[in-house]
């Protein structure tokens, strides 16, 4: 298999960080409640670690549907300000729609590239970034930008996924595509969900950005689904990789990808046929020295 395969060509054509997330924004809106139900422990822990105070200005990077930042918005109150941002305009629209439903009046919505934030130096008291840094083309640059916009003593609470081997909910489809020669193995440092799975590398990136790493902790998470079909449908809404596969592979190829993915996830099948797929997230806190 070479990059001339239909799926590889589709992925290459949509390799920009904006295009991929724009294309799945509607799916993330459809699955917003589900994702928050699964990940509420992560979002709540991030806000707990950051501990924003009433009146603070909090910036959320790669906010997606905005749910983590909205928890912070409640804590900072009417005198505070949440700046909810994403690189994809469609994702920002999803967050703004939800914020309007919740009646949040202390939130500003912006399209922002985390590698070039466009805010003044030292202008925010805290930063939240749930599952964003590992997807950015240059996470080192993004972390340096994070430090720049933080006020002295300000903190950044972030979450990244651990290694692919302990996150089969997210790696099984890609492995099936690789085994079948339908995609090429990406470079080791290519943007992807498990790119920052090495805790040592995360600490190094934080330190090199001029931030003081205060803690990095493992936080288990379980992806629950009524059935494998439910897993497949949900993932099709959330994952650009599966969306692209559904649009480009022929029926035989797609059936084999499904079969191999189902086999990889079979050990997590419950007696009633539901799936409870374990995962491991890493949640960190760092500060700009005061």
Describe the crossing of helices 67-76 and 89-102 by its angle, rounded to 10 degrees: 50
CA dist 161 and 259 (Å) reads 25
pLDDT digits (tens, 9 = 90+) for 230-247: 999 999 999 999 999 999
Note whether 47 and 156 are within 8 A (CB): no
What does the alpha-carbon distance between residue 56 and residue 6 come to, in Å, rounded to a whole number?
Answer: 48
Determine the average pLDDT of the residues in 120-149: 97
Strands (E), 162-226: 212-225
**pLDDT in the model for residue 60:** 98
Model confidence at 1, pLDDT cuts 50, 70, 90, reads: very low
Q: Taking a C-beta distance cutoff of 8 angstroms, is the pair 107, 99 a contact? A: yes
Task: Taking residues 171-178, report their average pLDDT.
Answer: 97
Sheet holding 107-111, edge to edge: 107-111, 81-86, 57-60, 124-130, 150-161, 275-287, 212-225
Residue 278 banded pLDDT, cuts 50, 70, 90: very high
Instruction: Identify any residues that bridge with 222 across adjacent strands, giving them in sequence order.
Output: 278
Beta bridge partners of 127: 59, 156
Rounded Cα distance, 56 and 119, in Å: 15
Task: Give whole-number Cα distances, 96 to 51, 86, 227, in Å.
Answer: 23, 11, 32
Q: Confirm if 98 and 68 have CB atoms less than 8 A apart.
A: no
Domains, the chain, ordered by start: 6-287 (3.40.50.150)
3-class DSSP assignment, residue 74: helix
For the chain, percent of residues with pLDDT exceeding 90: 89
Confidence of residue 19 (pLDDT cuts 50, 70, 90): confident
Cα–Cα dist 287/205, whole Å: 13
* Predicted pLDDT at 21: 85
Confidence tier at 39 by pLDDT (50, 70, 90): very high
11 has pLDDT over 90: no
Tens-place pLDDT, residues 133-143:
999 999 999 99
Backbone angles phi, psi at 60, to 5 degrees: -110, 125
Task: Spell out the residues 6+ positions from residue 249 whose beta carbon is closer than 8 angstroms to its own.
Answer: 6, 7, 182, 257
Map 84-144 to HEC letters: EEECCHHHHHHHHHHHHHHCCCCEEEEECECCECCCCCCCEEEEEEECCHHHCCCHHHHHH
Which residues face 129 on adjacent strands? 158
């Amino acid at each position: 298999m070479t990059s001339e395969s239909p799926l590889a060509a589709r992925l290459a054509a949509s390799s920009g960080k904006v295009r991929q997330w724009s294309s799945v924004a509607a799916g993330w809106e459809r699955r917003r409640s589900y994702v928050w139900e699964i990940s509420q422990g992560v979002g709540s822990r991030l806000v707990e670690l950051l501990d924003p105070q009433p009146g603070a200005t909090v910036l959320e990077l790669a906010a997606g549907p905005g749910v983590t930042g909205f928890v912070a918005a409640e804590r900072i109150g009417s005198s505070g300000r949440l700046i909810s941002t994403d690189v994809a305009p469609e994702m920002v629209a999803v967050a703004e729609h939800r914020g309007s439903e919740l009646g949040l009046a202390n939130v500003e919505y912006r399209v922002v590239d985390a590698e070039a934030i466009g805010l003044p130096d030292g202008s925010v008291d805290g930063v939240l970034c749930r599952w964003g840094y590992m997807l950015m083309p240059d996470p080192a640059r993004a972390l340096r930008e994070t430090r720049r916009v933080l006020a002295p003593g300000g903190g950044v609470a972030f979450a990244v996924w651990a290694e692919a081997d302990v996150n089969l909910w997210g790696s099984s489809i890609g492995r099936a595509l690789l085994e079948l020669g339908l995609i090429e193995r990406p470079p080791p440092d290519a943007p992807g969900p498990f790119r920052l799975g090495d805790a040592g590398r995360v600490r190094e990136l934080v330190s090199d950005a001029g931030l003081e790493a205060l803690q990095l902790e493992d936080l288990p998470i379980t992806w629950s689904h009524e059935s494998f079909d439910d897993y497949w449908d949900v993932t099709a809404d959330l994952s650009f990789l599966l969306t692209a596969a559904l649009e480009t592979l022929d029926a035989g190829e797609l059936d084999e990808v499904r079969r191999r993915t189902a086999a990889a996830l079979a050990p997590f099948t419950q007696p009633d046929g539901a799936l409870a797929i374990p995962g491991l997230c890493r949640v960190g806190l760092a500060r700009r020295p005061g």
